[in-house]
Amino acid sequence: MQMLDTKIDTIIFDFGGVLLGLDKPACLKAFKDLGCNEIEYYLDNCRQQGFFLDFEEGKISNEEFFEQLKNLVGNKVSQQQIEHAYLQFLTDLPTYKLQLILDLHKKYKVILLSNINQFIFEYCKKTYFERHGLCLTDFFDKVYLSYQLGICKPDEQIYRFMIADSQLIPEHCFYLDDGKANVEMGKKIGFQCYCPKINEDFRFLFY
C-alpha cells in the first residue's frame, strides 16, 4: 500500500489512457477496413498529428474535422461509419475509477487535464459522467481541455495556465498521466507524478 504525501491537496488526472481505456490498434483496423491506410500517421495515444492535432487544439470545428476525415477516408463512406470507426479508439471508463474520483473529490481538489477534441469529450461526458443523475462537476473541480485552451500537452503553457487559474501549488499536486513527455513536464514544474501502465488499477495509490 502506498500513501500520498500528506501535503498533497490536489489530484490531476489525464483522461485517455489513465481513466478512459484506449485501443489504438482497434481504431486503426476500423479505418483500414474502410480503406483508409493513411490513418496511422495521424493517431497517437498522447498527441495527434496533422488535422487531428488541429482538432485537439480547437483550430477546426467538428464539421471541418469530419469533412477532412471524410476526404481522407473517401467520400463513399458515410459520416456514421467514420464516427463509428473513430470511436473504436475508446474502450471503457471502469465504474471503479468513477467511484475513485468521487471518493477523492471528498478530500482533495480534483482536476482533469486532457489532450482531447470536442467530439470525443462530449461523447465521453454523456456516456460516462452524466449517468445516474450525476454531472461533470460531481467528479471534477476544474476541467482543462486542449481543444478549449488551444494548447496540447506537453506544452508547458497549458500546465502554467491550469496552475494560475486554479491557484495551485505545484509541490502539493499529484499528477497521473500515461504520456512520458507529459509526466516529465509535470516533474519539471514541480508536481509529484505517476505514470500508470496500460489498464492499470492504480487505486493502491490512494487507499
- 170 with 193: CB under 8 angstroms? no
Q: Which of 14, 155, 177, 178 is catalytic?
A: 14
Quick check: is 138 catalytic?
Answer: no
Q: 155-188: buried (b, 16+ CB within 10 Å) or exposed (e) per residue?
A: beebbeebbeeeebebebbbbbbbbeebbebbee
Looking at the annotation, which residues are catalytic? 14
